Structure 1
Amino acid sequence: QTRVLHIVGVNLSEHVITMDEEYLHNSKFTILNQIDEEHSQKSVMQQRTISMF
């Protein structure tokens, strides 16, 4: 489950990600929907550098 945090980091790269596994489990469907809605920003997301772990 924690691997999804990488996706969250890309999608919400301007936010500080401090999710634990329980929060992630409870919100992962909302997160996936939000990523789907913001898919048009993919070119911007690809420019972000993720180093969460």
Structure 2
Amino acid sequence: MSAYTVQDHLKSSFEKSGTGSRGELVAQLFFGHYASTPSRSGAWLVRTGWR
């Protein structure tokens, strides 16, 4: 897979998600999935491997 192919896929992902960079995309995915998970005292951090 060439660097151009990867760049095209990223560009498509940015357009679909309404983001403009890899950092924004990762933040949107993280906060949309993990931050919305109910937890007590950071239980989701341990459950997902984030410490």
Q: Fold-level match, TM-score > 0.5?
A: no
Task: Decide which structure has the larger Cα Rg and report it.
Answer: 2
TM-score tier (shorter)? under 0.3
TM-score normalised by L of structure 2: 0.27
TM-score when scaled to structure 1? 0.26
